[in-house]
A and B are shown apart, each in its own frame.
Chain A
Amino acid sequence: MSNDISLSKAPAGAAAAEPAGETLLEVSGLTKYFPVMGGFPFKRQVGSVQAVDGIDLAVRAGESFGLVGESGCGKSTTGRLITRLMEPTAGTISYRGQDISHADRKALAPIRSEIQMIFQDPYSSLNPRQTVGTIIGGPMEINGINPPGGREKRVRELLETVGLNPEHYNRFPHEFSGGQRQRIGVARALALEPKLIVADEPVSALDVSIQAQVVNLLQQVQRELGIAFLFIAHDLAIVRHFSQRVAVMYLGKIVEVGDRDSIYQRPRHPYTHALLSAVPEVELEGEERERERIRLAGDVPSPINPPSGCRFRTRCWKAQDKCAAEEPPLIHLGGPDEGHLTACHFPEEPTIAARGEDIVLDPALAAIEDVAERPE
C-alpha cells in the first residue's frame, strides 16, 4: 500500500466546491437529552442524560473542525445529531442555510448524500455479508447514481483512491486488516462526493503505525477534494494535527473554541489547561520545555445530574460561588484570534508554560507528594 495515493481519478467537480470560508454547517443551541426510565410497575421518565446541552458551532466549506473531549462529553452524540442519525431535542442544525434539525426522510435524502460519516470501529461498521464492492457501491445504488462507466468502475477508482487494490472488489470485510477496513469506510464515505464528512474517532481503534496511514489518507482527501471535516477524537495531538479549528467539550457543553494555535498555545479555560497538561508527550532532546502540571481529582461527573452553573466547577481549582450560581457564557476574552471563545468566569493566563507551583487536586497524589517534599 503506497502512501502516495493518486487522487487524479477522483471526480472533477468535487474539488471545485464553494470557496473555502463559506459556512457549510451551522449548529445553534443543539441539545440532546436521552430519557432515563425507572419506577415500578410502570416505567416512567425519572430523569435525562444531558448528553449535549446547547452547543453552537459552524463548519466552513473545506475546513477541518476538530471536536475534542473526554468520554461522555457528548462529542459523538453531536456527530450523530449533525448527520441526523438522531433527532435533536432542541436547537437547530442548518446545512447551507437549510434547516435540517427536524427534516423528515424525504427532505433529508438529498442532504444525506452530502454529509457522510466515518465510524470509529472498522469491524462493526462494515456488513460482514456484503462484498467490498457492494458496501462501497451501496450509497450510489440507494441514491440512484449512475456514474459514467458504471458503478463498478467508480468503486474500483475509489478503492484506488484510498490505497486499496481495485482487484479486491469481490472480497469480504473479514479478509482485510483493521487499517484496510477503515480505508473501506473512507471509500464508502467518498462514494457520493460529499461536502462534509463527520469522522467519529476514525483512528482510535487502530494501531499507532496504522493510525498514521489513515490520518494521512484523510488529510489528503480533505486537501485535494476540498471536503470539510468534523473530526471527533479524544486524542489531542491527532486533533491538533488534523484540524484548523478546534472546540473542546466537557459534559455536553463547548467550553472553549478557537483556531488551532490559539487553543493549543494560548488556552484560557482551566479544563483546556488540564487536558493539555495531561497529554503524555514524548519530549525530544533540546525541547524539554517546562509544561505546567495539573492533576485533577476524580472523574467526569454524571451527565444525568450535571453540576449547576459551570459544569467544570466541581473539578476546577479556581471555582468560586459565582461558578455554581451562574453559567459562564461562551465569549471572546481578548487576544489576537477573534474566533477564540471561552466559557469561564475566572479564565487562566493564555500560556501553557509551567507555573510556580503544580496544581495537584488528586488527594492521593497530593498526600504522597506532600510527604515526599517535606524535609526530614
Chain B
Amino acid sequence: MTTLTKPVEDAAPAASGAFLSVRDLYVRFSTEDGIVKAVDGLSFDLERGKTLGIVGESGSGKSVTNLTVLGLHNPRTTEVAGEIVLDGQELTGASNRTLEKLRGDKMAMIFQDSLTALSPYYTVGRQIAEPYVKHRGVSKREGRARAIEMLEKVGIPQPKLRVDDYPHQFSGGMRQRAMIAMALVCNPDLLIADEPTTALDVTVQAQILDLLKDLQQEFGSAIILITHDLGVVSNIADDLLVMYAGKAVERGSVRQLINEPQHPYTWGLLGSMPRLMSDVTEQLTPIPGAPPSLLAPPPGCSFHTRCGFTDLVGGGRCSAERPVLPEGRGSACHLTDEQKRSVFIETIQPRLG
C-alpha cells in the first residue's frame, strides 16, 4: 500500500556545514499492543550557533527524536535505525561509554518538568557542579565555584547562599534557571531544550526564553527547541521543522514557515491558534479529528485522514503514496507548489487576519 518514495540513496553524507546531522532516523518501540513507530524517517541538519525549532503536537515524535540523539532511550525495547552524526561522530551505534562522555559535556538537555528532572536528594549546587567535575576533572571546590558562577549567570539572586539549597526550596522559574545552568556548565556545543517553558507562567516564560537566547549568543551553542507553541519558537528559532505522526512534514526558516506555510497541517496549526492581534469575530479553524495512533499510522500521507485538500490532489494519491520532504525549504505534501501557494493566499491567509 504505502510506497516509500524515499529510498536509501537519500541518506547522502551530511552537508559540510552541519554540526548535527540526522539522516533517515527510525525509532520503534515494542509494546504489548504492538510496534509504535515513534519516529519514521526523519532527517534534519543543524549548524553551530543556530536554533532549530521542532513543532508538533503530543505524540508527534519530537521528544523521542531528541532523547535518541542523546542516547537516553531504553535500548532493550527501542529499535533505532539511521544516522545521527554529531560533529563528525556517529552516535546511533555508539557505546554507552562514548555517549556518557558526550552527555553533559558536548551535548546537554533541558527538560520540561524541572521538579522531576532535578534530584530532590542533592543540593542544586552539587547537581550543577557534577558534570563539570566529571568531564573536566576538577576538584569539588572548583566545581562549586563554577556552580555559583553559573547560578549568577542565569539570574539566581544570592548565588553564594542558594548554591546549597535543595530543589524544593526554589520556585518553578528558579528551578528552570538552575536546569539551564546545569546544562550550560560545560559549555556544550549542542543544547536540547524539550518544552523548557511549558510549565511556567507567561511572564516567567518570557524571561527564560530571552535568557536562553542571550546565553546562546554568549556560549555559541546550537539549540534544538522542542515545543508545541508556534509563538514560542517564532521568536527564538532560526529554522523550523514541523512534525506530525513521527514524520517531518515541513521545513524552512521561521519567516518562510510563518508567512508562506505550505503544508495543510501547518495551516491547521496557524488557524487553530488565536493571537493577540487576530480578529475576534473570526472563528478559529481547527484541524478536524484527532492525531492517528502510531501503532497503525494511516498509509500514504499520515495527515490525509484529517486533511481538507486531498480532493485537489486526486487519484487517491494521498492515501497510497507517501509524500517526500525535499531537502532544504519544502513540505511533504502532494499538492503542487502552485496549489500550495494559491490555497494559502486564497483560503488560509484571510482567516488568519
Contact = CB atoms under 8 A, between A and B. Distances in A.
A195 to B, nearest CB: 24
Interface stretch (B152-160, B185-193, B319-327): B152-160
Contact of A70 (B202, B211, B274, B285): B202
Given A216-B283, A281-B275, A365 B228 contact: no
Residue with the greatest number of chain B CB neighbours at <10 A, chosen from A219, A299, A369: A299
Contact of B286 (A71, A210, A297, A299): A210
Contact of A212 (B171, B231, B271): B271
Given A264-B276, A278-B206, A372 B283 contact: no
Contacts of B230: 208, 282
Q: Is the interface of B mostly helix, strand, loop or mixed?
A: helix
B283 A219 contact: yes
Given A280-B231, A284-B352, A70 B217 contact: no
A365 B284 contact: no
A375 B58 CA distance: 45
Contacts of A362: 155, 207, 210-211
Contacts, number: 157
A280 B57 contact: no
B258 interface: yes
Contacts of B118: none
A12 interface: no
The residue among B211, B277, B283 with the most chain A CB atoms within 10 A of its own CB is B277
Main secondary structure of the interface of A (DSSP, over half): helix
Contacts of B202: 70, 234, 236, 275, 278-279
A325 interface: no
Interface in B56-75: 57-58
Contacts of A264: 276
A367 B284 CA distance: 41
Nearest to B152: A364
A97 interface: no
A330 interface: no
Contacts of A287: 277
Contact of B214 (A211, A297, A365): A365
A299 B176 CA distance: 12
Nearest to B279: A241
Contacts of A216: 283-284, 286
A369 B172 contact: no
Nearest to B205: A278
Interface of B: 57-58, 152-155, 157, 171-174, 177, 201-207, 209-211, 214-215, 217-218, 228-232, 234-235, 255, 258-259, 268-278, 280, 283-291, 352
